[in-house]
Chain A
Amino acid sequence: MSDTQQHSVAFVRTEAIPEREPPYTASGPLKWMKDNLFATPFNGILTIVAVYLIYMILSSALPWMLNGIWTTSSLAECRTVLDGAVGACFSVLTERWNQLLFGFKYPSELYWRPGLAFMLLFVAIAPVLFFDLPRKLLIFTGLYPFIAYYLVWGGAIGVPLVALAGCVAGAVFYQSFVARNFALGFLGGVIAAFVTWYIGGLFIPDGANNTAWMRAVPSRDLGGFMLNMMLGVTCVSLSLPLGIALALGRQSSMPLIKVICVVFIEFIRGVPLITLLFVASVMLAYFFPPDSTVDLFLRVVIMITVFSAAYIAEVIRGGLAALPKGQYEGADSLGLDYAQATRLIILPQALKISIPGIVNVAVGLFKDTTLVSVISMFDLVGMIRGPILASTAWNGVYWELLGFAAVLFFVVCYGISQYSQWLERRLATDHR
Chain B
Amino acid sequence: MCVWFGAEDLRTYQEEVNMNKSVFFGALTVAGLAVGAAAAGTLDDVKARGKLNCGVTTGLIGFAAPDANGEWKGFDVAVCRAVAAAALGDPAAVEFVPTTGKTRFTALASGEIDMLARNTTWTFSRDVDLKFTFVGVNYYDGQGFMVPRELGVSSAKELDGATVCIQTGTTTELNLADFFRSNNIEYEPVPIETNAEAQQQYLAGACDVYTTDASGLAATRAAFEDPSAHIVLPEIVSKEPLGPLVRHGDDEWGDVVRWTLNALITAEELGVTSTNVGEMSASAGDNPEINRLLGTEGTLGEMLGLDAGWASAAITAGGNYGEIFERNIGESTPIGLSRGLNAQWTDGGLIYSPPFR
Stretch at the interface among B20-28, B177-185, B318-326, B343-351: B20-28
Tell me which residues across on chain B come within 8 A of A198, comparing CB atoms.
Answer: 28, 33
Q: Is the CB of A386 within 8 A of B194?
A: yes
Q: Is the CB of B19 within 8 A of A209?
A: yes
Alpha-carbon distance A153/B26, docked complex (angstroms): 18
Q: Is the CB of A389 within 8 A of B15?
A: no
Q: Is the CB of A395 within 8 A of B103?
A: no
Tell me which residues across on chain B come within 8 A of A167, comparing CB atoms.
Answer: 3-4, 7
- Per-position binary interface string of chain A over residues 276-289, scored 1 when its CB falls under 8 Å from any chain B CB and 0 otherwise: 00100111011011
Alpha-carbon distance A3/B16, docked complex (angstroms): 102
Given contacts A167-B7, A205-B21, A376-B58, contact A220 B97 (CB under 8 A): yes
- Per-position binary interface string of chain A over residues 386-409, scored 1 when its CB falls under 8 Å from any chain B CB and 0 otherwise: 110111110110100000000000
Q: Is the CB of A292 within 8 A of B26?
A: yes
Alpha-carbon distance A58/B127, docked complex (angstroms): 57
Given contacts A293-B111, A398-B200, contact A238 B8 (CB under 8 A): yes
Query: Shortest beta-carbon distance, A130 to chain B, in Å?
Result: 18
Q: Is the CB of A392 within 8 A of B61?
A: yes
Q: Is the CB of B20 within 8 A of A206?
A: yes
Q: Is the CB of A291 within 8 A of B111?
A: yes
Supply 14 further A-B pairs (C-beta < 8 A) apart from A159-B14, A237-B5, A387-B59. Answer: A76-B225, A103-B70, A104-B66, A104-B70, A149-B15, A159-B15, A163-B10, A164-B7, A170-B4, A171-B4, A193-B3, A282-B106, A386-B58, A390-B59
Interface residues of B in 87-121 (CB under 8 A from A): 95, 97-100, 102-103, 106-107, 109-112
Alpha-carbon distance A73/B22, docked complex (angstroms): 45
- Per-position binary interface string of chain A over residues 177-218, scored 1 when its CB falls under 8 Å from any chain B CB and 0 otherwise: 000000000100110011001100110111111000000101
Alpha-carbon distance A148/B98, docked complex (angstroms): 26
Sample (18) of A-B pairs whose CB atoms are under 8 Å apart: A145-B11, A149-B8, A155-B19, A163-B11, A194-B28, A208-B21, A241-B6, A285-B106, A288-B110, A290-B39, A291-B39, A293-B111, A294-B13, A295-B16, A295-B17, A390-B60, A391-B68, A392-B223
- B29 contacts chain A at the CB level, 8 A cutoff: yes
Residue of B nearest to A281 (CB): B103
Tell me which residues across on chain B come within 8 A of A320, comparing CB atoms.
Answer: none
Query: Shortest beta-carbon distance, A411 to chain B, in Å?
Result: 26
Residue of A nearest to B98 (CB): A376
Query: Shortest beta-carbon distance, A96 to chain B, in Å?
Result: 8
On chain A, which size bracket covers the interface?
A: 35 or more
Alpha-carbon distance A240/B6, docked complex (angstroms): 11
User: Among the interface residues B8, B27, B194, B334, which one has the most CB atoms of the partner chain A within 10 A?
Assistant: B8
Q: Is the CB of B9 within 8 A of A389?
A: no
Q: Which of A95, A293, A296 contacts B17 (CB 8 A)?
A: A293
Q: Is the CB of B102 within 8 A of A294?
A: no
Q: Is the CB of B223 within 8 A of A301?
A: no
Query: Shortest beta-carbon distance, B104 to chain A, in Å?
Result: 9
- Residues of chain B at interface, number, CB under 8 A: 68
- A234 contacts chain B at the CB level, 8 A cutoff: yes
Q: Which of A146, A206, A292 contacts B37 (CB 8 A)?
A: A292
- A160 contacts chain B at the CB level, 8 A cutoff: yes
- B199 contacts chain A at the CB level, 8 A cutoff: yes
Q: Which of A149, A234, A282 contacts B103 (CB 8 A)?
A: A282
- A370 contacts chain B at the CB level, 8 A cutoff: no
Alpha-carbon distance A82/B32, docked complex (angstroms): 62
Tell me which residues across on chain A come within 8 A of B24, comparing CB atoms.
Answer: 159, 197, 201, 204
Tell me which residues across on chain A come within 8 A of B195, comparing CB atoms.
Answer: 390
Q: Is the CB of B200 within 8 A of A193?
A: no
Tell me which residues across on chain B come within 8 A of A298, comparing CB atoms.
Answer: 12-13, 15-16
Residue of B nearest to A290 (CB): B39
Tell me which residues across on chain A come within 8 A of B103, comparing CB atoms.
Answer: 281-282, 375-376
Tell me which residues across on chain A come within 8 A of B151, comparing CB atoms.
Answer: none
Alpha-carbon distance A155/B31, docked complex (angstroms): 23
- A105 contacts chain B at the CB level, 8 A cutoff: yes
- Per-position binary interface string of chain B over residues 175-210, scored 1 when its CB falls under 8 Å from any chain A CB and 0 otherwise: 000000000000000000111110110010000000
Q: Which of A194, A234, A282, A396 contacts B203 (CB 8 A)?
A: A396
- B2 contacts chain A at the CB level, 8 A cutoff: yes
Alpha-carbon distance A193/B28, docked complex (angstroms): 12
Alpha-carbon distance A295/B107, docked complex (angstroms): 10
Interface residues of A in 218-249 (CB under 8 A from B): 218-220, 234, 237-238, 240-241
Q: Is the CB of A396 within 8 A of B200?
A: yes
Residue of A nearest to B107 (CB): A285
- B1 contacts chain A at the CB level, 8 A cutoff: yes
Tell me which residues across on chain B come within 8 A of A163, comparing CB atoms.
Answer: 7-8, 10-11, 14
Q: Is the CB of A285 within 8 A of B112?
A: yes
Tell me which residues across on chain A come within 8 A of B52, comparing CB atoms.
Answer: none
Alpha-carbon distance A171/B6, docked complex (angstroms): 12
Alpha-carbon distance A103/B70, docked complex (angstroms): 8
Given contacts A171-B4, A386-B58, contact A376 B16 (CB under 8 A): no
Tell me which residues across on chain B come within 8 A of A301, comparing CB atoms.
Answer: 12
Residue of B nearest to A280 (CB): B103
Q: Is the CB of B199 within 8 A of A292?
A: no
Query: Shortest beta-carbon distance, B289 to chain A, in Å?
Result: 38
A-B pairs, 5 with minimum CB distance: A285-B110, A389-B196, A104-B70, A201-B24, A170-B3
Q: Which of A153, A289, A293 contacts B29 (CB 8 A)?
A: A289
Tell me which residues across on chain B come within 8 A of A103, comparing CB atoms.
Answer: 70
- B65 contacts chain A at the CB level, 8 A cutoff: yes
Tell me which residues across on chain B come within 8 A of A96, comparing CB atoms.
Answer: 68
Q: Which of A197, A206, A290, A297 contacts B28 (CB 8 A)?
A: A197
Alpha-carbon distance A372/B186, docked complex (angstroms): 36
Q: Is the CB of B20 within 8 A of A385?
A: no
- B282 contacts chain A at the CB level, 8 A cutoff: no
User: Among the interface residues A163, A204, A207, which one has the most CB atoms of the partner chain B within 10 A?
Assistant: A163
Alpha-carbon distance A157/B227, docked complex (angstroms): 53
- B303 contacts chain A at the CB level, 8 A cutoff: no
- B30 contacts chain A at the CB level, 8 A cutoff: yes
Q: Is the CB of B8 within 8 A of A171?
A: no
Residue of A nearest to B99 (CB): A376
Residue of B nearest to A173 (CB): B3
Alpha-carbon distance A294/B23, docked complex (angstroms): 10
Q: Is the CB of B110 within 8 A of A171?
A: no
Alpha-carbon distance A193/B9, docked complex (angstroms): 13
Alpha-carbon distance A194/B27, docked complex (angstroms): 10
- A378 contacts chain B at the CB level, 8 A cutoff: yes
Residue of A nearest to B97 (CB): A220
Alpha-carbon distance A96/B67, docked complex (angstroms): 11
- A142 contacts chain B at the CB level, 8 A cutoff: yes
Q: Is the CB of B98 within 8 A of A292?
A: no
Residue of A nearest to B224 (CB): A395
Alpha-carbon distance A190/B10, docked complex (angstroms): 12
Tell me which residues across on chain B come within 8 A of A392, comparing CB atoms.
Answer: 61, 222-223, 334
Residue of A nearest to B38 (CB): A291
